[in-house]
Structure 1
Amino acid sequence: MEAFKIIYTVLGGLGIFFYGMKNMSEGLQSVAGDVVKTAINTITKNRISAVIVGTLVTILVQSSSVTTVMVVGFVNAGLMNLTQAIGVILGANVGTTITGWIISIKIGKYGLLLIGLGIFPLLFGKTNKARQIGRILFSVGMIFFGLDIMSAAFKPLRTMPEFLDMISYFSAQNYSSYFACIIVGCILTVVIQSSSAMLGITMAMATSGVIEFHTAAALVLGENIGTTITALLASVGANVTAKRSARAHAIFNALGVLIVFSFFPIYVNFIDWVVPGEANLRNAAGEFENIAVHIATGHTIFNVTATIIFIPLLGILARVVTKITPDNGQKEQHHLVMLSDPSTMVAATALAQADLEMNKLKDIMGRLYALADELFLGDTKKSYSDLIIKAKDYESITDNIQKEVTIYTVKLMESPLSEKESIHARGILKEVDELESIADYIEKLVSYSERTPIKKMLKGEVREEFIKYYKEVKTFYEDTIKGASEAELDLSVVMRKSEQLRLTAESIRAKHLERISKGEFDALGALTYSDMIVALRKIRSHTQNVAHAYS
């Protein structure tokens, strides 16, 4: 009966801890979303800046798993190269050490106080920021309270003979016991899918006096290996570069643990020397009151030192993972892949990723327009059928991107977003839909050449009239897209220009009807030319809608 009580109490405490960690991460993401977005936008090929960004983002979101999965997603979308990705992942390892320091605070002391302080702004705050700050305070209180429950549940284990016999092998101070602890820490982290939760369990057991510092330190090393499974799972089905990024994370952590394992007793003694107070000193209640700070220090020393050592070796690590993960001669296809539920990502980062994916769509649009230019403005030697096939291929790509971005953004909008982020997300949905529609009409413009030869239909005054209108609509599109990207659109100017283009289309159609009445066009040619003007007018209309997307 005692064992059952311990199990359900530990599970309950772990559940409260998990809930607190999840809500704290989401609250921090909401409050610090703009900072995260700015940090990611500053990533360059400079490995130091990539490490700093990884550290900063992980501190803000309080989850190295979120950061590493995010990195795999960016690499898979072609938005980050391998060296940048490895740098950010190294930074994530440093950033995650902050979690250890947060939960190393004397856990039973502040939990209920923070829950009480956080619940009022969470429920009654008038602004989103006030509610999110309340949510953070409430969540940190839940973390401490959950750890306190687990710590109390573990205390009876100190005097339970069956447990002491079982754990005696892991408590011994020899390399086989250290190795066994590392393996257990790794496996449990893989099962729980959270190194933060395993760190919390380890600290709860240690502060309760159930395990000594050397056992806890070995478990933490195993947790550093186990946490890499999240990125490895995220890379399944991703492109080669994303797989290399995830494997670089695993190799980096595994090598670091292997090196520390080779002189583990010295490592433990060094931490004992650095941190005041003996780690295994019991107080009157039988608890190790100094051990939590020792564990947090060991976690920090391991990750910071490993990162500093590996920064100069990023190029070598990149070459190693490239060698063990060959591309087999296949061309890389970068695309947005739903590696995980985007609602678990930093909202600002997810939106930035969607924005960058939108840039790919705009690039395809540029290629579509180049085909139309070749058909209408140039003296192409290509057959109409070749141009049409290529245009249809590009249009199909825009359909896929529109579908992926829409699914991704809708899933993101299911999570709590600030007002600014909600407007941005809705703008993405509208813009991607409008751009896809524009792509449809450009493809139709090119495909009309299959119905009636362009050179036969566009000649003399008609050609001049069409080319002039075509160029005006294209310029309107390019100016609007550029202005929207740079947030420098003047809606009144856009509306005025759009109305002018609409009136021009009406004038062209009126002249066209006169020509038809005079017998200057055959029936099929008349219909084709009318459809081409309608397509340009529709492009004008959808371009105007793009301007309204973020207003």
Structure 2
Amino acid sequence: MDYIRIVFRIIGGLCLFLYGMKVMSDGVQQAAGDRMQRVLNFMTKNRFVGVLTGMAVTALVQSSSAVSVMLVSFVNAGLLTLTQAIGVIMGANIGTTTTAWIVSLIGFQIDISALALPAIGIGFFMGAAKWKYQDLGGAFLGFGFLFLGLQFLTNALPAVNPESMEFIRKISDLGFLSVIIGMAIGTAVTLLMHSSAATITLVITLAFREVINFEISAAMILGANIGTTIDAIMAAIGTKTAAKQTALVHVLFNVVGSIIALIFFRPLVLLVNFLVPGSPEGAGIATHLAMFHTVFNILGTLVFLPFVHQFAALVSFLIKDKDGKQGMPKPYRLEYQHSVRSTPDLNIIRAEKEIRDMTGLASSMFAGVSKVLSGFREEGDKTAAVDALVTEMKDKEEYADEMRVELTRFLLECTRQQLSHQSEEKVYQLLRIISDLEDMTDDCYSVSLLLDRSVKKNLRFKNKEMEALAPYVAQVEDFLSFVKGHVGRSITEEQAVFAEQLENAVDKSRDKLRKLGRKRIEAGEDVKTELLFIDVVRRIEKVGDYCYNIAESLMRS
């Protein structure tokens, strides 16, 4: 009965520790929002800075698995490249060692409840209040639960010793085979718990209570580094080739690094014993294990860091790029990523990238219309050019319809998760932008149909009209270019004023062109041709209206 009680106390402490880690990680990610992606994107241009960034972000969210899932999501969305992600993965493995240091330096030295309970209280009140730091309440709350779980865990084994556990004693007496078995156990436990931090915390606790010795504990830590790759693998299921390659980088780096550490296990242990004074037994074993975890990951990073590009080439060879440059794959699909380490905010960031692609699609459609319109000032048959335009616009407009349906479904799935107030506002802003973009593509297609009618019914626009139309089209192109450059982030007051000026300029040009069409009708020109010209002007102006609608949405973000 004592053993059953101890097992349940260990499981309860671990579950509370894992829950605290998830709440803290989610709170940090929600508080950071898309700023985390921008930091990662800005700080990963250089492999060395990428390592430092991975260390900092992982130490902040206290989970290398969460960072690896984040990286897979960002690479899948095209926000980061494979090469950029490699440095961050290496840094994440170093950053995750902070958990071992927290456990070894705090977990067994002070009364953890002195930290846990105040953190839970602060986190609760911060999360309950409606203010801009509400999401940080989750981080504090998770921090408190993490330490509370750690306290339960450290108090769960007061009377256990190696002599009373014959199975563990036998495993400890098998020489190097004991190390291999320990590594396998560490891998299996981490695969089950989806958290190397929880495994390492359990290992350090068992070692501190003298249930397992230093060598088996160190081997289990090597196994935990292998098992932690499971979340990256799961996050890469159903993703693009680059995301799968990123997950493979994480697997190869951790597995190969752990195998190399296993080969040089004895020298590595001697190095740790040299760096940490005192015996790796009794009270000092926790610090020795934290140092082992740190040294192992730092040495692994130093070995692999010079070969980042070769590493990228290797995984690109192992996982061939099947996505290719196929343009618009049909039908368009965007699957919501459910993962134990994923948060709705990561999926919102992914949706923003897809919406930027949709903006690029709308921009390319208007550019196609603009090109054909510029040719209307020239003599000659326009049938072939207009037919090609109509076919292109039809295909792209249908694809834009698919994007609207899938992105709307995707974002509504995000709203079913627990979102911060800021993230909810972001989702509804994105839904408005998607609607405006799809309407924009409809009008581009409508312009192509008007031009098709012009050619088929021989309703030829005058050169003077087309020359007057050219600067008007250029104004809308500039507006669309402005929107394309700012989708996904807020615009400043100065940029908002600039957008309003663009909208006013487009409206003035529209009024001028309408007057030109009406005067030509009054002068006796063909009514059908002039009305068709006014329709073209109206459709182009609506594209400008949608640009301003999007700009207004970005003002409120």
Shift, 1:235, TM fit: 1.6
1:545 to 546, 549, 554: 549
2:161 to 158, 163, 167: 158
In the alignment, does 2:82 pair up with 1:78? no
Tell me if the contact between 1:336 and 1:357 (Cα under 8 Å) persists in the aligned partners. no
Identify the residue that residue 446 of structure 1 maps to in structure 2: 448
Amino acid aligned to 1:439: T
Tell me if the contact between 1:113 and 1:141 (Cα under 8 Å) persists in the aligned partners. no
Identify the residue that residue 314 of structure 1 maps to in structure 2: 308
Q: Distance in 1 between matches of 2:399 and 2:48?
A: 36
Tell me whether 219-228 or 307-316 shows the greater mean CA deviation: 307-316
Tell me if the contact between 2:163 and 2:169 (Cα under 8 Å) persists in the aligned partners. no
In the alignment, does 2:239 pair up with 1:235? no
Gaps of 5+ in 1: 282-288
Q: Distance in 2 between matches of 1:130 and 1:121?
A: 12
Superposed CA offset, 1:311-347 (max 9, x none): 1122222222222222369547799955734995578
Amino acid aligned to 2:445: E
Q: Distance in 1 between matches of 2:351 and 2:49?
A: 23
Q: Distance in 2 between matches of 1:343 and 1:500?
A: 50
Identify the residue that residue 218 of structure 1 maps to in structure 2: 219
Tell me if the contact between 1:17 and 1:197 (Cα under 8 Å) persists in the aligned partners. yes
Check 1:66–1:412 CA distance in 2 against 1; reply closer, same or farther (3 A cut): farther
Compute the RMSD of aligned alpha carbons. Answer: 3.5
Check 1:138–1:363 CA distance in 2 against 1; reply closer, same or farther (3 A cut): closer
Secondary structure at the aligned position of 1:233 is classed as helix
Check 1:353–1:515 CA distance in 2 against 1; reply closer, same or farther (3 A cut): same
- Correspondences of 1:120-519 after superposition (within 5 Å): 120-125=121-126, 128=131, 135-158=138-161, 161=164, 164-281=165-282, 289-327=283-321, 330-331=324-325, 338=335, 340-341=337-338, 353-378=350-375, 382-403=384-405, 405-406=407-408, 409=411, 414-417=417-420, 419=422, 424-453=426-455, 456-460=459-463, 462-464=465-467, 466-467=469-470, 469-479=472-482, 481-482=484-485, 487-488=491-492, 489-492=494-497, 494-495=499-500, 497-499=502-504, 501-502=506-507, 505=510
Q: Distance in 1 between matches of 2:499 and 2:137?
A: 43
- Correspondences of 1:39-58 after superposition (within 5 Å): 39-58=39-58
In the alignment, does 2:19 pair up with 1:19? yes
Tell me if the contact between 2:369 and 2:448 (Cα under 8 Å) persists in the aligned partners. yes
Tell me if the contact between 1:207 and 1:292 (Cα under 8 Å) persists in the aligned partners. yes
Secondary structure at the aligned position of 2:190 is classed as helix
Secondary structure at the aligned position of 1:317 is classed as helix
Shift, 1:149, TM fit: 1.7
Amino acid aligned to 1:101: W
Tell me whether 509-518 or 404-413 shows the greater mean CA deviation: 509-518
Tell me if the contact between 2:43 and 2:53 (Cα under 8 Å) persists in the aligned partners. yes
Shift, 1:372, TM fit: 0.3
Check 1:507–1:106 CA distance in 2 against 1; reply closer, same or farther (3 A cut): closer
Tell me if the contact between 1:388 and 1:447 (Cα under 8 Å) persists in the aligned partners. yes
Shift, 1:490, TM fit: 4.5
Gaps of 5+ in 2: none
Tell me whether 39-48 or 489-498 shows the greater mean CA deviation: 489-498
Tell me if the contact between 1:199 and 1:223 (Cα under 8 Å) persists in the aligned partners. yes
Tell me if the contact between 2:17 and 2:145 (Cα under 8 Å) persists in the aligned partners. yes
Identify the residue that residue 117 of structure 2 maps to in structure 1: 116
Tell me whether 228-237 or 109-118 shows the greater mean CA deviation: 109-118
Superposed CA offset, 1:469-509 (max 9, x none): 43443334334555776835444554455356446546755
Check 1:401–1:309 CA distance in 2 against 1; reply closer, same or farther (3 A cut): farther
Tell me if the contact between 1:44 and 1:50 (Cα under 8 Å) persists in the aligned partners. yes
Check 1:432–1:139 CA distance in 2 against 1; reply closer, same or farther (3 A cut): same
Tell me whether 526-535 or 381-390 shows the greater mean CA deviation: 526-535
TM-score normalised per structure 1: 0.85
Secondary structure at the aligned position of 2:212 is classed as coil
Tell me whether 212-221 or 231-240 shows the greater mean CA deviation: 231-240
Tell me whether 249-258 or 490-499 shows the greater mean CA deviation: 490-499
Tell me whether 150-159 or 203-212 shows the greater mean CA deviation: 150-159
Q: Distance in 1 between matches of 2:140 and 2:395?
A: 52
Amino acid aligned to 1:262: I
Superposed CA offset, 1:12-70 (max 9, x none): 11221112111222333355557634521324543212222222221222211121122
Q: Distance in 1 between matches of 2:490 and 2:146?
A: 42
Shift, 1:432, TM fit: 3.4
Shift, 1:222, TM fit: 0.4
Identify the residue that residue 102 of structure 1 maps to in structure 2: 102
Tell me whether 197-206 or 35-44 shows the greater mean CA deviation: 35-44
Secondary structure at the aligned position of 1:550 is classed as helix
Shift, 1:121, TM fit: 3.0
Check 1:279–1:482 CA distance in 2 against 1; reply closer, same or farther (3 A cut): closer
Tell me whether 36-45 or 3-12 shows the greater mean CA deviation: 36-45
Check 1:443–1:311 CA distance in 2 against 1; reply closer, same or farther (3 A cut): same
Shift, 1:310, TM fit: 0.6
Q: Distance in 2 between matches of 1:370 and 1:67?
A: 39
Tell me if the contact between 2:122 and 2:141 (Cα under 8 Å) persists in the aligned partners. no
Q: Distance in 2 between matches of 1:482 and 1:512?
A: 34
Check 1:96–1:339 CA distance in 2 against 1; reply closer, same or farther (3 A cut): farther
Amino acid aligned to 1:208: R
Tell me if the contact between 1:213 and 1:295 (Cα under 8 Å) persists in the aligned partners. yes
Tell me whether 30-39 or 191-200 shows the greater mean CA deviation: 30-39
Tell me if the contact between 2:347 and 2:414 (Cα under 8 Å) persists in the aligned partners. yes
Amino acid aligned to 2:16: I
Check 1:528–1:154 CA distance in 2 against 1; reply closer, same or farther (3 A cut): farther
Q: Distance in 2 between matches of 1:7 and 1:362?
A: 55
Query: Across the two proteins, how many residue pairs are aligned to each other?
Result: 540
Q: Distance in 1 between matches of 2:209 and 2:410?
A: 44
Tell me whether 264-273 or 48-57 shows the greater mean CA deviation: 264-273
Superposed CA offset, 1:384-425 (max 9, x none): 332222223333444454455555555556445475x66555
Q: Distance in 1 between matches of 2:209 and 2:15?
A: 19
Q: Distance in 1 between matches of 2:291 and 2:396?
A: 54
Q: Distance in 2 between matches of 1:38 and 1:17?
A: 30
Check 1:297–1:35 CA distance in 2 against 1; reply closer, same or farther (3 A cut): farther
Q: Distance in 2 between matches of 1:248 and 1:475?
A: 41
Q: Distance in 2 between matches of 1:331 and 1:460?
A: 39
Check 1:280–1:482 CA distance in 2 against 1; reply closer, same or farther (3 A cut): closer
Shift, 1:307, TM fit: 0.2
